[in-house]
Amino acid sequence: MSSVGESMQQPDLPPRLRRFVDGMDALLARGAAEADIVAHGGTLLRALLAHDDWLPDALAQPHPQFYRQYLLYLDPASRYSVASFVWGPGQRTPLHDHTVWGLVGILRGAEVAQPWRYHDSGALVVDGEPLLLRAGEVSAVSPTLGDIHEVRNAYDDRVSVGVHVYGADIGAVDRFVYAPDGSRKPFRSGYANR
């Protein structure tokens, strides 16, 4: 039998994660629109984040130089994926997009996300104030809601762990990292445990 993060279907998920997956499966099975996925999926994710007793330590280990993304669950039809994002002290992402809907939740610590958008000039500009998410809180990203941002651990002296849910196998999605001038380079994020 597989453990969390090792197989496509992960039949032996921790009970709390299994309840979340069952809820997401039911939500997507009824053909929910993005707004419903964000609203109801966000409620399901907050319930998962309310208890910090289910994530295996092996899937919450930071790397000394860069953040890590561990696959926790991949829907067999790749309708969505669940990943832990583990941030060492002070670590950050480059400017990047997702190209699909996403729910960003915090299990431990805090993350700061700074949204960006294209200006008429073609350059990227900061789009509003940074968003601070603390343990138990959830936000959303998507091409319709705003999809380009940079994210960092809110702390310079401790690890933070997020749980993110995306409307595809996010580790295999063709995405982009951006420079402030609007130029971009393709990338696939992959997973630390695959």
194 lies in a domain? Answer: no
d(CA 154, CA 135): 11
167 lies in a domain? Answer: yes
Task: Provide the number of structural domains found in the chain.
Answer: 1
Digitized pLDDT (tens) for each residue of the chain, 194 residues in all: 334 444 345 568 999 999 999 999 999 999 999 999 999 999 999 999 999 999 999 999 999 999 999 999 999 999 999 999 999 999 999 999 999 999 999 999 999 999 999 999 989 999 999 999 999 999 999 999 999 999 999 999 999 999 999 999 999 999 999 998 889 999 999 999 99
d(CA 93, CA 171): 15
104 lies in a domain? Answer: yes
6 lies in a domain? Answer: no
Domain that holds residue 72: 15-187
128 in the Ramachandran plot: left (φ > 0), alpha (ψ -120 to 50) or beta? Answer: left
5 lies in a domain? Answer: no
CATH number, domain containing residue 80: 2.60.120.10
Its pTM stands at 0.92
